[in-house]
Every structure is written in C-alpha cells, then in structure tokens.
A = this chain, B = another copy of it.
Amino acid sequence: MLSRTLEEKLGSLYRAGGRIVGGVYLGRGQEAFSAAAGIHLRWGKDVYGPLIRDQAGRIAYGEPILDTMRTYLGVVTGPMRGRDGNIHRGQPQKGYMAMISHLGSLVSVVSGALFARRLLGTLGDTVGATSIGDGGTSTGAFHEAINMAAVEKLPLVVSVANNQFAYSTPTSRQYACENLVDRAVGYGIDGHSVDGTDLLACLKVFRSAFQRTRAGHGPQMVVGRLLRLGGHGEHDDASYIPDVKKHEHEGRDCLIVAQQQAMDLGWATKAELDEWLKNARREVDKAQAQASKEPTPDPYRESWQALSTQRLAEGMGQ
C-alpha cells in the first residue's frame, strides 16, 4: 500500500521533474512536499486549491498531464481555453480550484467549497487542501481565510511551503517569528512541521494531518522547510540566494532523497526508477505532441462575454 503510494508519487515527481515546455514558475525542490499533500487527495472528490509550485501535487491529485500541457500552450481544448494560463488552471466544478494571482485569496475559496458541502450534505468524507508560500503568509487574505476556516472548523489542510524566499525577498524581511508553524496556535488549529526535502517524512506528516482533519479536528497547517531550487520564474537566475552553505540541508534535492529512500526500502531498484523516468518523459513528450497540434483560440469565435447569463450580457465590444 505504502509502496504503491510511493510509486505513484515518484512517478509524479519524475514527470514534474521532466517538466513542461513553456512552463515558467517551477516547483523544483518542492516536489516531495507538494506531492505528499496531493497524493492524499482524490481527483473528482476532494477539493484542491494548488498554488504556483504545486505541479507535483497536481499530478498526484490526478490532473492529466495533457490538461497541463494544453493550458501552458493556451490551446482551446485545455480547461482554460486560452483565456487564462499556466498555473492558474483548474476545473472548479470538479473541486479543482483555479487560483488567481493574488496570493492568499484562494484559501477562502477552498474553505467556501467545504463549507457549502457541509451545508448541502455533500461533504461525506471529502476534505480540502491548499497551499501558500512563506511570502503568501503575509497577506491579509491568508490570515482572514485561515481564521475563518478555524472558526468554521473545516476539514482543510493548508501546506505552507517555506522555501526561504518570496521571489527575491528572504524570510527575514517577510516575518519575524521563529517558525511559521507558530502561527497555528494563534488560529487555534493544529500545526505540523516537516523537513520538506524528505519525502517519507512529508508523507507521514500529511497522512496524519489529513487523518486529523477528516476526524473533525478542523484545519491543519503543515509547514515544510525547503528551498526553491531555481529562480522565482524561469527568467530569474536567483543570484540573490546568497550562501548555499546556509541552506545546505534544505538545499538538497528532494527527488534524489526520495529515490534513495525508495531504493533503501526496497520499493524500487535503480533500474525501475530509471524506467519510471523514461516513461514519464515519454508521457510528457506525448502530451506535448498532442497539445501542439490543437487549435489556439480565435478571437472571432470567442464569445467575449464575461457573464454566464446571456440575457444580462451587454456585449460591450469595440
């Protein structure tokens, strides 16, 4: 069982590693932490509101690689139909929320979905999860939403990926507490801390967080310590990340750690891992090939209607 879980996870990590053409904001170094949350969520059932660096979590959750590719390429067949792109993708009707750029503002949306499910009797054993970065914790939106989720005691797991930087801003200019997990007590929710580079540890802590929230203990905050292995976006060389030594431990590649763990525990051999990587690459290539053939949006066929209610649309075009 655990092995199976891990297998899927590694697969997704690999795919996340052999990442998408045109992708701009990558999750390198954060795959273990992200996937360990995503793997606990069921596609089409649980509510998931991933953020910028959650490619691994998205795959673990069950998002088809083809949707990712289609969104990045902006083709009309993708869930966003070229209207919005890349990391903003989602399929809210499925519980897969589509973030807007404004950091922190997705948390209340995920909470609202859970709140409504409970109200409408459709919650069952479903749960919700969403993410934030160290920088995003400074937003008022994040604070309001966590506090509200705590008051409503919603079954929500919030991952805080503390990758030491918000774009170029170090955590010393972002917050003054020791560890962001110290905020949990102030919200009256459970807090968990984990080494975000250690896949096994991440799996363990998220398993317990999801168990607790499902058991009615309300929102869970899981803070992972890690490092963004790259720039903020692909345009950024991250020259401001100063002393690698300082970040020695968080700076290790979680993917290599995870592979070693898999081999140590006998869940996969080196050969198998290599095979998975090859498969992942093949899958990505295939999705890319397919999406590339698909049509980009045509402004003349676009409805240019922001409302779903036809009769109220003004159609103020040019």
A interface size (C-beta, 8 A): 29
Which residues of B are found within 8 Å of A138, using beta-carbon distances? 144, 147-148
Q: Which of B174, B180, B189 contacts A176 (CB 8 A)?
A: B189
Closest to A185 in B: B182
A177: nearest residue on chain B (CB-CB)? Answer: B188
Verify B150–A139 contact, CB threshold 8 A: no
Q: Please state the number of chain copies in the assembly.
A: 2
Q: Does A100 contact B (CB under 8 A)?
A: no
Q: Are A140 and B144 in contact (CB under 8 A)?
A: yes
Most chain B beta carbons < 10 A, residue from A178, A180, A183, A218? A183
Hey, what's the 0/1 contact readout for A112-140 against B, CB within 8 Å counting as 1? 00000000000000000000000000111
| A151 at interface by CB-CB < 8 Å | yes
Render A137-167 as a binary contact track against B, CB cut-off 8 A, 1 for contact. Answer: 0111111100110110100000000000000
Q: Does A242 contact B (CB under 8 A)?
A: no
B-contact 0/1 string along A172-209, CB 8 Å cutoff:
11111110101111111100000000000000000000
Tell me the complex Cα distance, A151–B177, Å.
9
Q: Which of B141, B148, B178, B186 contacts A177 (CB 8 A)?
A: B186
How distant is the Cα of A140 from the Cα of B107 in the complex, in angstroms? 13
* Cβ-neighbour of A178 out of B153, B180, B188 (below 8 A): B188
Docked complex Cα distance between A186 and B174 (Å)? 12
Bound Cα distance A177, B147 (Å): 9
A144 touches B151 (CB 8 A): no
Find chain B residues with CB under 8 A from A218 CB: 176
In residues 209-262 of chain A, which contact B (Cβ within 8 Å)?
218
Taking the nearest CB of chain B, how far is it from the CB of A83, in angstroms? 28
Query: What is the minimal beta-carbon distance from A291 to any residue of chain B, in angstroms?
Result: 38
CB distance from A187 to the nearest CB of B (A): 6
Q: Please name all residues of chain B whose beta carbon is closer than 8 Å to the beta carbon of A189 when the two chains form the complex.
A: 176
Contact A176 B182 (CB under 8 A): no
Q: Which residues of the partner chain B approach A141 to less than 8 Å between Cβ atoms?
A: 140
Which B residues are CB-close (under 8 A) to A178?
Answer: 185, 188
- Chain B: minimal CB distance from A11 (Å): 37
- Complex CA–CA separation, A180 to B186 (angstroms): 7
A174 & B188 in contact (Cβ 8 Å cutoff): no
Q: How far is the CB of A156 from chain B (nearest CB, A)?
A: 12
**Pair B186/A182 contact, Cβ less than 8 Å:** yes
Given A151-B173, A176-B218, A177-B186, 8 other A-B residues pairs in contact with their CB atoms under 8 A: A139-B140, A140-B144, A150-B175, A150-B176, A175-B188, A176-B189, A185-B186, A186-B186
Q: List 9 A-B contacts (CB under 8 A).
A: A138-B144, A139-B144, A140-B142, A142-B143, A151-B174, A175-B187, A177-B185, A182-B185, A182-B188
